[in-house]
Amino acid sequence: MSRAFVKELDGEAGDELPELAVSPHRNLVTPSGLAQIEHTLHRLDGELTDARAAGDQPLIARIERDLRYFRQRKATAEVVRPTGATDKVRFGSRVQLMTSAGEPVEFRIVGEDESDPPKGLISYVSPLAASLMGGSVGDRVPFLDTEAEIVAVEPCLE
């Protein structure tokens, strides 16, 4: 039978995991973002030791791929240190918005690997962060299907 009609199971010999996509943007990180990358590398090193001891080849391949990604991210990380007080939105800033419905929303602008929108951490390359960057209190920015006003800007306090 032709190989075109045979579906191999994931993890079988010969299957190669695709590399994790690396962003084309600068790898800006906060100090805590760099600490997260280092913590992830440490955790993955431990998981790799355990997977090797168990002889779990598919797991070893996945962890080695993840280690390559995070080693590259650490090597290219550009730590953006906290700056003094400023009234302009910058990388690391905590920004409070007031929606057109009168609801306050708060975001912190962080690196791509730190991003966690449900926790209010947005990547500096996201459309919302791009619209906020350089803004100051009183500016209006697009937000969801309407707009919001910047009501507070706090510098990164790390």
The per-residue pLDDT for range 116-153, each reduced to its tens digit, is 999 999 999 999 999 999 999 999 999 989 999 999 99
What pLDDT is stored for residue 84 in this prediction? 73
pTM for this predicted structure: 0.81
What pLDDT is stored for residue 68 in this prediction? 97
As a whole number of Å, the CA-based R_g of the chain is: 21
Q: b/e string for 122-142 if b means 16 or more Cβ within 10 A?
A: bbbbeebbebbbebeeebebe
Do 114 and 29 meet the contact criterion of CB atoms below 8 Å apart? yes
Is the pLDDT at 7 greater than 60, yes or no? no
Euclidean distance between CA atoms 40 and 45, whole angstroms: 9
State the distance between the two ends of the chain, measured CA to CA, in whole angstroms: 61
Arithmetic mean of pLDDT, 11-16: 57
Average model confidence (pLDDT) across the chain: 89
